[in-house]
Amino acid sequence: MVHNRRKFIQKSTLAGMGMGAAFLFPMDLLATIRKKVGANDRINVGLIGCNGMGFSDLTSLLKISEVSIIALCDVDERVLLKRTADLEKAGIKKPLWYKDYRSLLANKDIDVVVIGTPDHWHCLQLTDAISAGKDVYCEKPIANSVQEADIMLDYVNASDRIVQVGQWQRSQPHFVDAINFVHSGELGNIRLSKAWAYQGWMKPIPVVLDSATPKEVDYNMWLGPAPERAFNANRFHFNFRWFWDYAGGLMTDWGVHLIDYALYGMKAGAPKSVMALGGKFAYPDDASETPDTLQAVFEYDDFSILWEHGTGISNGNYGRNHGISFVGNNGTLVLDRQGWEVIPEGDRMQAIPLQNNKGNGLDLHTTNFIAAVKNRDASILNAPIQVGYDAALVSHLGNVAYKTGDRVYWDKNTNKFTNDKANEFLKADYQNGWKLPQV
């Protein structure tokens, strides 16, 4: 039994490198980790959006004994049932259930909110959580539009709330070590940073007809500010990522993680211009809207950042299905979730063999968040709102360039494009009586 458990944990760790570090953590093992904590020392958490990364984030937080989960919110009662059963395996009694996140936020006993909902909900839920006096761990990307991201940045910066964005690679030691090496100057002048995601496990989404909403689902609440549509299983749960109403495809899904590190390494913010080419080249007739193939080039003063993605294939740059590289005059540093290495340019520098991944980035990230909450010190956060904002902004600008089909120029003084047509794609379009938060 112990041997099987150990093998399971090893497999979970390897899977976590590619998918999010706590998806497969055994809940019965969590029960052995948690210690009893007095009521006055507990940090009470409410989770909004209990599927996928939302529950993964919660699982990671629950490895910290002071964290107590007291409320779950999801529009799908089947998910609430499943997650409650999961928590019971960890010896945690049934939390309160909510289908409307606003009712959860009204619970005065909740200190921290985890937002794990689809992207189109993040802005409303984050700003409402701040207004309710909660600290927040918000999944990435922070928003589904630049306009929403602007509002969220202003809300957080005007508050005293602790907000961590779920870009957990900011807490992964080998990622930090790699960027320290980039900043050392040993690579020489860096002319290009590449970031890419080639995801072979992402298969085409077969077209299915609209259907009746499952009786357990509050579909109107799931849609929220997104355009009203009939229920379609393709748009629900995980696959929301491939529809513009709710998300931005691989550019904002994986791109936020990887472009973030390209920006971090190059000490960069918004680009001067962006151009992007791609489309539904591999699966033109499947149900998704976002491109399965895309290349975007971001122009800066003396370097470029190149983003590439492809679904259904895994052969990416340097033999890696995802990663970031920094191409310097002396050598190229290549980084992904397994580790980093340096490939020298001839004899201009020494090669550095693979420096392997160490530690659990998500667990380190949630631990960092709770430390900031306990100390009321946002300055120690590894992924504060500005980090989430910068990555979301650049990723969304790439999608705008793709949608317009033009090279678009960004004016950092006005925070807009010089092309009025492109600016229309920066805006949020709230429907169904939901109102965009006002700063």
Q: What is the pLDDT of residue 343?
A: 98
- DSSP symbols for 260-309: HHHHHHHT--S-SEEEEEEES-S-TTSS--S-SEEEEEEE-SS-EEEEEE
Task: Name 411's bridge partners.
Answer: 416
Confidence of residue 414 (pLDDT cuts 50, 70, 90): very high
Which of 187, 177, 383 has the alpha carbon at shortest distance from 303?
187
CA dist., res. 84 & res. 76, Å (int): 13
Pairing between strand 273-279 and 190-199?
unpaired
Per-residue b or e along 351-369, where b marks 16 or more CB atoms closer than 10 Å to that residue's CB: ebeebebeebbbbbbbbbb
Q: What is the pLDDT of residue 4?
A: 41
> What whole-number percentage of the chain has pLDDT above 70?
95
Q: What is the pLDDT of residue 192?
A: 98
Confidence of residue 376 (pLDDT cuts 50, 70, 90): very high
CA dist., res. 212 & res. 89, Å (int): 33
Task: Name 310's bridge partners.
Answer: 198, 293
Confidence of residue 25 (pLDDT cuts 50, 70, 90): confident
Confidence of residue 107 (pLDDT cuts 50, 70, 90): very high
With a cut of 80, say whether residue 9 has pLDDT above it.
no
246 phi/psi in degrees, rounded to 5: -120, -20
With a cut of 70, say whether residue 120 has pLDDT above it.
yes
How remote is the C-alpha of 167 from its chain's centroid?
Answer: 6
Q: What is the pLDDT of residue 439?
A: 79
Contacts of 202 (CB under 8 A, 6+ apart): 250, 311, 312
Which of 116, 140, 253 has the alpha carbon at shortest distance from 195?
253
Q: What is the pLDDT of residue 11?
A: 42
1-15, 249-263, 264-278, 338-352: segment of lowest average pLDDT: 1-15
With a cut of 90, say whether residue 3 has pLDDT above it.
no
> What whole-number percentage of the chain has pLDDT above 90?
93
With a cut of 50, say whether residue 92 has pLDDT above it.
yes
Confidence of residue 24 (pLDDT cuts 50, 70, 90): low
256 phi/psi in degrees, rounded to 5: -60, -40
CA dist., res. 165 & res. 56, Å (int): 14
DSSP 72: E
Instruction: Give the H or E element holding residue 207.
Output: none
Contact by Cβ (8 Å): 200, 310: no
Q: What is the pLDDT of residue 162?
A: 98
Confidence of residue 21 (pLDDT cuts 50, 70, 90): very low
For residue 152 the two structure tokens come to: 């969220």
Q: What is the pLDDT of residue 395?
A: 98
Check residue 328 and give left, alpha or beta (phi > 0: left; psi -120 to 50: alpha). Answer: beta
pLDDT tens string 291-322:
999 999 999 999 999 999 999 999 999 999 99
Q: What is the pLDDT of residue 78?
A: 98
Indicate the length of the chain as a whole number.
Answer: 439
CATH of 2-168+379-384, one of 3.40.50.12710, 3.20.20.70, 3.40.50.720, 3.30.360.10: 3.40.50.720
Boundaries of every domain in the chain? 2-168+379-384, 170-359+387-426
Q: What is the pLDDT of residue 8?
A: 39
CATH of 170-359+387-426, one of 3.20.20.220, 3.90.1150.10, 3.40.50.620, 3.30.360.10: 3.30.360.10
